[in-house]
Structure 1
Amino acid sequence: MTFIGLTWDHPRGYNALAETARRVNAGRVQPLIHWNKQPLEGFESAPIRDLAERNDLLVMDHPHIGEAVAEDCFWALEDLYPAEQLALWRRDSVGPSAASYHWDGRTWALPLDVATQVMARRADRLPEPPESWDEIVALAARLPVAQSLAGPHAVLTLMSMVAGAGGCVGGEDFLPVAEGAAALETMHRLHARRPTASETLNPIGLLEAMARGGDIALVPLVFGYVTYAALGHAPQVVRFSDTLRQGGGAGGVIGGTGIAFSRRSRPTPELLDHIASLLAAPTQVEVFPTFGGQPSARAAWRDAGVNDAWGDFYRGTLATAETALLRPRFDGYIAFQTAAAQCVRLALERREEPETTLAALRTLWRLARQKARGHLDDRKG
C-alpha cells in the first residue's frame, strides 16, 4: 500500500520530504509514500482530527498536541519505536524540539524541522546586531524596524520578549506584570514608527520585504527561514542572529514541525524505517539543508559545510534554538493564541495601557485553561 502524508506547501516543508520519498519509492511497483501539501494556514483552520482521518502521516506544529491527544488522533511513538531509539532522538535534537512533542508521559511526533524566533537584519544597513531593546528603539528613529505581528505572531513576539527578560510564561497568569508591561511598552514604541503596513505581513512577507527592497532593515523577533540567508535567493541577503536575552532568559519561541502517525495508519516496518531515516544524521546533515529544510539534528546546526552554504544561519542562531521557549500545548491553546494575538494588535493600534492589555490576556488565558480537556502544561486539569 501507499501511505499518504500531509505537509505544508513552503519549500522548507515539502522539498526534502519529496526528495526522500522519491528515493525510497525508486524501483518499487507501488510507492511506499506520497506527500500532499497545503498552505500552512490550512493546519490552523482545519480541526486536526479531520486531517488525521484523511492522512496516514501529518507534519504538524507542537501546540496542536493537546488537542490531538484529546481527540485520540495519533499513535504514541512508544508503541512504534524502541524506547532507546526515542531517547537518542531526544538527545540529538536541538533545544526543546523533541521535548515539544512529549505530552502527558508519551511521545506523539518526531522532530522534523526546527525554527525559532530570532533577529533578522540587512547587514548592508546594519553591520552588527543591536545589543539591547533600547538600542533597537533608538535605531527605529533612523531605520525601518518592523515587528512580526500578523496572525499569531503578535502574542508570540510578546511571549519571546518576556521570556528573554527572564519572565515566566504560563502558570495561572500567563505573563508576569513587570516583564509583560515592559515588553508591551517597547512594542508600542516600535509600533509608532513601524514601516507602512508591516504589521500585516507574516514572517515570510517580512523577510521578502527585507530581501527584495529597502522597506525593512531589522525585525528583532521573527521566525527564521534559512532560504533568505543564502546568496542568490533574492537581491539582498538577510542575516540572522540570536535573540536578546538577559541573564537566564529563554530564547525566542520555538516553532518548526514534527511528523506524527495518525490512528488511521497501520505502519509497516518499511514505513517505520523510512520515517526513522529522516532523522538519521546523513539525511539531516546532507539532504534536508540541500533541499531547503531546517533540520532538527544538532549535528546539522553545527556542521561547517551546512553553515558555509547557508550564510551561518545555524551557527548564528544555535544559542537561541538551544534555549528556546516552549509554547503551551494544552487542548484549546491554538484558539487562545489566535484571540490573544488579536488582543495585542488592537492594544497597539489603540495605544492601550500595558496593564489593561495584560489583564485582558489573563482573562483569555484562564478561560482557555478552564475549558481544556485533560492535561495542562504546568499541572493536571
Structure 2
Amino acid sequence: MATIKALTWDHPRGYNALAAASKRDEVIAAGLDIQWEKQPLEGFESHPIADLCARYDLVVIDHPHVGEAVAGDCLRSLESVFGEDTVRQLGADSIGPSLSSYRYAGKHWALPLDAATQVMALRADHIEGGAPKTWDAVLDVSKRTGKVALSLAGPHAALSFLSIAAAHGEPPAEADPDMLVSNEIGRAVYDLMSELASHSPRSVRDKNPISILGHMAHEADVILCPLVYGYVNYAAPTEGHVVTFADAPRRTPGGRPGSTLGGTGIGISKRCDPGPELKAHLLWLMSHDAQIGFIPGHDGQPSRREAWHDAGVNARWGNFYKNTAETLEAAYVRPRHHGYIAFQGKASALLRDAFEARAEASGVLARLQELYQAHRRAGEER
C-alpha cells in the first residue's frame, strides 16, 4: 500500500472532508494510505513552503504562496501531472478566480479544493432592513450602533484595505505592478477604515475571522462585520445564533463588491511521484459528485461553480453560497510574488497602529508604498 503524507489546516472546513475522503472504500481498494495531518492556519503563513514540501507529498496552500513555492522549486505543476486539457476544464468548472489564482510563471500549482473570499457577515436578527449594500450604509450602521467590527488581526487589516480599494475601482497593483494604490484612492480607503476602526468593538479587535464569527454567533455586541472570510459552518451552526452572509459592500449601488480572494488548494510536492490512483483520487475531489455532495456534507466549502448555485446545497447551508457567489466571481487576486506574504503582515501591523493613533493618511500611505516596493524588489532578487 502506498503511503501518502499530507498536510492541511486545523479547522473542520480544512480537514474533515479530506480525512473522510481518504477513508473511502475506493481509495483503500486502490492501495492508497493517505495520512492527513493538520496545523494551525497561521502556521502556513510563517512556515517556509519548501520545508513543508520536503516533508509532505500533498500540501494545502493559499495562492499567495505560489511565488515562494516556485522560487523554491518544490511543487509539481498541474499541467505536468494532469495535462493541459484537464487543467483547462478545471478552470471552466471552478468559481471565480479559484483556479487562476494558482497560476504563476505560466503554470498552475494547486488544485482549487476550497473557495472563499471576504464577504459580509451579520446578525440579521439585530439589523433592520437586512444587509447594507454600500460602504456609506455600513458606516451609518457603525455610527448608529457601535456594533460594526472590522477584521484587523493578523494579515486582515491589509486584506480589507486591498478589498475596499477594489470596490473603489482601483484593484491594488493591477494597472501598475509597482504601485500598490494611488494617493486619491488610498486616502479614501484609509479614512473610511480609520473611521470604522474608531467605532469597532474592542472585544474582537485581536480575533481572526473564525473567532470573530464565533463571537458573533454567541454575543450581540457585534452585529455586522463588513469584510470577513466566509465560513459556511456559521450559516447553519450546531450551537449559537445563525450568522447570515451577504455580498461584500460596494462603493456605489450596483458597483463591484470589493473582496480579496482566499480559499485553499492542494499542491503536489516534488517529493511525490503521483501514480494513476492518486491522480484519480485528487480529480475525484474536484468532481461534480464530490463538490456538490461529499465535500459540503463533510464541513467543506466547495470550489465548483455549480455547487454554489445548487438548490440542495443552499437549502442545507442557509443560502450562504447563493448569497455570496457574486462577490466570489468578482474577487480580487493578490500579488503572488515571493515576498508578498511578508509585506502583507507588516502592512497590517502598520495599519493597526495607524488606526489606533488616528494617524494622518499621507504618511501611512507613503510607508505602505515603501513596504510594498521593498518586498517586491526583494522577491525579484531571489
TM-score with structure 2 setting the length? 0.95
Alignment match, 1:239: 244
Amino acid at match of 2:322: R
The alignment status of 1:153 with 2:156, answered yes or no, reads yes
1:370 pairs, out of 351, 356, 377, with 377
Q: Any idea what the Cα deviations from partners look like across 1:185-241, whole Å, max 9, x if unmatched?
A: 1111111111123211100111011101112100010000000101x4232101100
Counting only pairs closer than 5 Å after superposition, residues 346-357 of structure 1 correspond to structure 2 as 346-357=353-364
Q: Any idea what the Cα deviations from partners look like across 1:160-204, whole Å, max 9, x if unmatched?
A: 001011113012220122221111111111111111232111001
Gaps of 5+ in 2: none
The alignment status of 1:214 with 2:215, answered yes or no, reads no
Counting only pairs closer than 5 Å after superposition, residues 12-161 of structure 1 correspond to structure 2 as 12-24=13-25, 27-28=28-29, 31-127=32-128, 128-143=130-145, 144-161=147-164
The alignment status of 1:168 with 2:171, answered yes or no, reads yes
The alignment status of 1:263 with 2:270, answered yes or no, reads yes
Q: Does the aligned pair in 2 maintain the 1:115–1:224 contact within 8 Å?
A: yes
- Measured in 2, the distance between the counterparts of 1:101 and 1:29 equals 28
Which secondary structure state, in structure 1, belongs to the residue aligned with residue 220 of structure 2?
coil
- Measured in 2, the distance between the counterparts of 1:300 and 1:24 equals 24
Q: Any idea what the Cα deviations from partners look like across 1:137-178, whole Å, max 9, x if unmatched?
A: 221133210000000000000110010111130122201222
Gaps of 5+ in 1: 375-380
Q: Does the aligned pair in 1 maintain the 2:201–2:221 contact within 8 Å?
A: yes
Q: Any idea what the Cα deviations from partners look like across 1:332-362, whole Å, max 9, x if unmatched?
A: 1100111111111111011111121111000
Alignment match, 1:358: 365
- Measured in 1, the distance between the counterparts of 2:336 and 2:30 equals 41
- Measured in 2, the distance between the counterparts of 1:27 and 1:137 equals 54
1:311 pairs, out of 299, 303, 318, with 318
Cα deviation, residue 314, structure 1: 0.3
Alignment match, 1:198: 204
Cα deviation, residue 373, structure 1: 3.5
Q: Does the aligned pair in 1 maintain the 2:120–2:247 contact within 8 Å?
A: yes
Amino acid at match of 1:190: L
The alignment status of 1:228 with 2:234, answered yes or no, reads yes
Q: Does the aligned pair in 1 maintain the 2:10–2:39 contact within 8 Å?
A: yes
- Measured in 1, the distance between the counterparts of 2:239 and 2:135 equals 28
Which secondary structure state, in structure 2, belongs to the residue aligned with residue 59 of structure 1?
strand
2:186 pairs, out of 166, 180, 187, with 180
Q: Does the aligned pair in 2 maintain the 1:24–1:32 contact within 8 Å?
A: no
Cα deviation, residue 82, structure 1: 2.2
Cα deviation, residue 243, structure 1: 1.0
Cα deviation, residue 31, structure 1: 3.9
Amino acid at match of 1:307: N
Amino acid at match of 1:90: G
TM-score with structure 1 setting the length? 0.95
- Measured in 1, the distance between the counterparts of 2:192 and 2:273 equals 51
Which secondary structure state, in structure 2, belongs to the residue aligned with residue 330 of structure 1?
coil
Alignment match, 1:7: 8
- Measured in 2, the distance between the counterparts of 1:71 and 1:87 equals 25
Q: Any idea what the Cα deviations from partners look like across 1:20-59, whole Å, max 9, x if unmatched?
A: 1010566549543111111111111111111000000001
| Change in 2 beyond 3 A, CA 1:79/1:330 | same
Report the aligned-residue RMSD: 1.5
Q: Does the aligned pair in 1 maintain the 2:74–2:270 contact within 8 Å?
A: yes
Q: Does the aligned pair in 1 maintain the 2:32–2:278 contact within 8 Å?
A: no
- Measured in 2, the distance between the counterparts of 1:263 and 1:256 equals 22
Which secondary structure state, in structure 2, belongs to the residue aligned with residue 251 of structure 1?
coil
Alignment match, 1:377: none
